[in-house]
Chain A
Amino acid sequence: MSGAFFAVDNIGIRFGGVVAVDGVSFSVDKGECFTIIGPNGAGKTTIFNLIGLIYPATSGTITFEGKVLNGLPPHRVAAQGIARTFQNIELFEHASVLQNLLIGRHRHRRTGLWEELLFLPSVRRAEIEMREAVEEVIEFLDLAKYRDSVVAGLPYGVRKVVELARALATKPKLLLLDEPSSGLNPEETDDMAFWIEDIKKVLGITVLMVEHDMNLVSRVSDRVLALNEGKPIAEGTPAEVQSHPAVVEAYLGGAEQVS
């Protein structure tokens, strides 16, 4: 497993008596789109929070480019080149879209506190460089007309894209998307699928995604892992997983219950 781009090995976490994630292992290859699916409460988002080190894992290791992430503080994860979006959108509500994306560049900052207090020419140059990088993302995701709008006033669908843009602004190597299509209408979901494909193919960013919409999953994912009650039940191509008996059972119930 040590050669894998990103690997999660036998990871688990328990909250009191509840075992939320139990012995999940998978590895993601560079440049692919790997999706985790599963019924509600299967532990998908918890895995993301474990990867983001927001929760300390009870067991197991997370390795990224051969480096073990466990034990790092959460803000160091971003420095490794991992960015994420949230299921319920966690944008900086009272800042403009542009400022949100500039915060995405935070891990690339080079200026120190004293320079910034005086706003020396070096800070001015660094700011303009950051702005140029952010403008590339704005162009890529077609957000130009919202550039100066305050996030709190934007519709849900646009915020979802802004959040994706903010994650991209960090120039990640691995992008974690937590339900990118939740709350989007079919048309917006279609756009999202298009962008995820583009992120994978054009930008060459590896995508790890949690998603419910099977159309989107089968359109963009290379491999799928199905979870149920914190345990992996099937792994393979989208078609394989979809027709896997254990997956069908997890979603629809077992044969004996049907009769």
Chain B
Amino acid sequence: MRFIFKTSYEQDIRLFKHGGQVFWYALLALLLVSAPWWTSEYVMSQLQFILIYAIVGFGLMMLVGFTGQISLGHAAFLAVGAYTEALMQAAGVPFVVSISCSALFAGVVGIIVGLPALRLKGIYLAIATIAFNVIIEEIVTRWDSLTGGNSGKHLKAIDLFGWKMESDGQFFAVCLVLAVLACLACVNLLRSPTGRAFVAIRDSEISASCMGVNLAWYKTLAFAFSAALTGVAGALYAHKVSFISPEQFTLLVSIELVTIVILGGVGFLHGAVLGSAFLIVLPQLISIAKDYLPAGLAPSGLQAVVFGSVLVAFIIFEPLGLYGRWLKVRTWFELFPFYRRGMFRRQRTYTKSERLR
């Protein structure tokens, strides 16, 4: 077990807490950067998807995991990002500008969606965001002249200052850089007053406001930030699939996005990455499994069934998600043989002043 000897306050706000972390993250970075040279095209493509969904995961984690506001409408922000990118690219806007605009527009839409969040909580907020998702989907479908309606929009490869990102490796590099930047932005927010205000709102709105946290401002900010990251991911997604149409941004997609957060582990940024990896790998595993199942046991809806059961199983058996499971495993090894089953169980409190809400 590692004991960190703390000698300055600065140590607590450092990006890496100890040498071990530096080593493992460096190793991960090395593996990822060198990935185009040692993986197949197929794996490369999956890695791109994982990174894109991880960016959505970061955004959603900030909102759901840290600010405690639920959103079942994130596919709509993905759509805003994707269509902004598609339209701006068609208009010949450089990539750096267009992806910034994707983030900006999605962020602005996020602010609009955040407005009901100031008054709605829990399940009612979820319903409002579902409604929003349906509205955006409908707008995208009907506004033929702008979005191409059901016939969708085609995108060309990213053009970065005249440098065409046509190979898988180049696009992967763009995804990787943006994912790392998104992650850094989240980590930075979380170790500064804004992130603490988010957590305060999640845990007790009433005492957050008594500590001087402006609830309206920070809730709106959380929505805007989350939406902006999702917008960036949407733009990348549009380039990845190179063809976008309204049925790629339905409510079901929103639910998949929330699944990332829940499977990964609500309240851990690592969870966003693990969850998105899981979300991408699972369908592949299912389709591999299908080859080995007798024909009658492999219906076309198998994926939805497996997804649903996995989600339910996680909520019941591992509410802390994949990252929570990893923490437990790590603690088991660190403390061996003294790990106890109840170590991660928290006392539940029923005394919250619900009546003040």
Contact = CB atoms under 8 A, between A and B. Distances in A.
Interface of A: 49, 52, 54, 73-79, 83-84, 86-95, 98-99, 102-107, 109, 111, 113, 116-119, 123-124, 127-128, 130-132, 135, 150, 152-153, 166, 170
A128 B10 contact: yes
Main secondary structure of the interface of A (DSSP, over half): helix
26 contacts: A49-B356, A54-B206, A54-B209, A54-B356, A73-B214, A75-B212, A77-B210, A84-B210, A86-B207, A88-B351, A95-B196, A99-B199, A103-B199, A104-B211, A105-B193, A106-B193, A111-B193, A116-B189, A116-B193, A116-B195, A117-B189, A124-B10, A124-B13, A127-B192, A152-B346, A166-B211
Given A86-B207, A170-B212, A128 B9 contact: yes
A107 B210 CA distance: 10
Contacts of A89: 349, 351
A30 B193 CA distance: 31
Given A91-B207, A94-B199, A119 B347 contact: no
A119 B191 contact: yes
Nearest to A166: B211
A109 B212 CA distance: 10
Given A92-B199, A92-B200, A103 B208 contact: yes
A93 B12 contact: no
Give the residue among B211, B215, B221 with the most A Cβ atoms within 10 A: B211
A148 to B, nearest CB: 9
Contacts of B193: 102, 105-106, 109, 111, 116, 130
B203 A92 contact: yes
Interface in B2-16: 9-10, 12-13
Nearest to B267: A94
Interface of B: 9-10, 12-13, 185, 188-189, 191-197, 199-200, 202-204, 206-215, 221, 267, 346-347, 349, 351-353, 356
A57 to B, nearest CB: 15
A94 B66 CA distance: 10
Contact of B9 (A54, A132, A152): A132
B116 to A, nearest CB: 19
Q: Which of B12, B204, B212 has the most CB of A within 10 A?
A: B212
A185 B220 CA distance: 42
Contacts of A88: 351-353
B188 A52 contact: no
Contacts of B13: 124, 127-128, 131
A153 B200 contact: no
Contacts of B207: 86, 90-92
A54 B205 CA distance: 11
B347 A153 contact: yes
Contacts of B353: 86-88, 90
Given A73-B214, A166-B211, A90 B10 contact: no
A113 B194 contact: yes
Contacts of A74: 209-210
Nearest to A170: B211
A-B residue pairs, 10 tightest by C-beta: A78-B212, A107-B212, A92-B203, A90-B207, A116-B192, A152-B346, A119-B188, A88-B351, A131-B9, A109-B193
Contacts of B211: 78, 83, 103-104, 106-107, 166, 170
Nearest to B201: A92
A79 B209 CA distance: 11
Nearest to A155: B347
A168 B194 CA distance: 20
A119 B212 CA distance: 22
A176 B206 CA distance: 15
B16 to A, nearest CB: 13
A74 B185 CA distance: 29
A106 B199 CA distance: 12
A128 B202 CA distance: 24
Given A102-B196, A128-B13, 20 more contacts: A49-B356, A54-B206, A74-B210, A78-B211, A88-B352, A90-B204, A90-B210, A90-B353, A91-B203, A92-B204, A94-B346, A107-B212, A113-B221, A116-B188, A116-B194, A117-B189, A119-B192, A124-B13, A128-B9, A170-B211
